[in-house]
Structure 1
């Protein structure tokens, strides 16, 4: 019988990362964004669409180097293909600029 225990910490980590980014007091701080980005990395790799979308937006908006921005754009493309409206909007803004 397979246990679902490993999924719970991942889901918790994802929720905490999203909460940090959405927090009016914390979400704009660079160190909080960095922590949230690290927390979103594994779920995004595993194909969790909301993690791909939020990490992609974070990387495109807040990372200065071209490599991170390319990775962020690819994450946004994956999330947009999966139907995430936030990723679709972010991609359209990137294309216009």
Structure 2
């Protein structure tokens, strides 16, 4: 999954999401949390595409979930690095699950 456009660090101070983007964020989170759908690669790909724009705009929950997906499910180093950056941003913003995942990743890198 490729993220193009603005660097992630410059997106932290954006305006709130418009209603149609909030809808896509909610749908993406619903897809990932759905027991039957959440494990399918095609659903993860779709949800990742839907989370990309909110994550760029600094929505913490989108950064956290997309970062977790990229770190866990992607095989290439570029996507894992982007996922790591997204998790770091979400962790700094106070997202508890991002803090836990980021700590786990940092601990695994040290070993």
Do the two structures share a fold, i.e. TM-score over 0.5?
yes
In structure 1, list runs of 5 or more residues that go unmatched: 1-5
Residue in 2 that maps onto 1:55 = 66
Residue in 1 that maps onto 2:88 = 77
Residue 27 in 1 paired to residue 38 in 2?
yes
Deviation at 1:85, TM superposition (A): 0.4
Higher RCO (CA < 8 A, seq sep 6+): 2
Measure the CA separation in 2 of the matches of 1:72 and 1:84.
15
Q: Give TM-score, length-normalised by structure 1.
A: 0.92
Residue in 2 that maps onto 1:95 = 106
Q: Give TM-score, length-normalised by structure 2.
A: 0.81
Deviation at 1:93, TM superposition (A): 1.2
In structure 2, list runs of 5 or more residues that go unmatched: 1-16
Relative to its length, the structure with more helix (as a share) is: 1
Deviation at 1:31, TM superposition (A): 0.4
Measure the CA separation in 2 of the matches of 1:14 and 1:58.
15
Moved >3 Å (runs of 4+): none
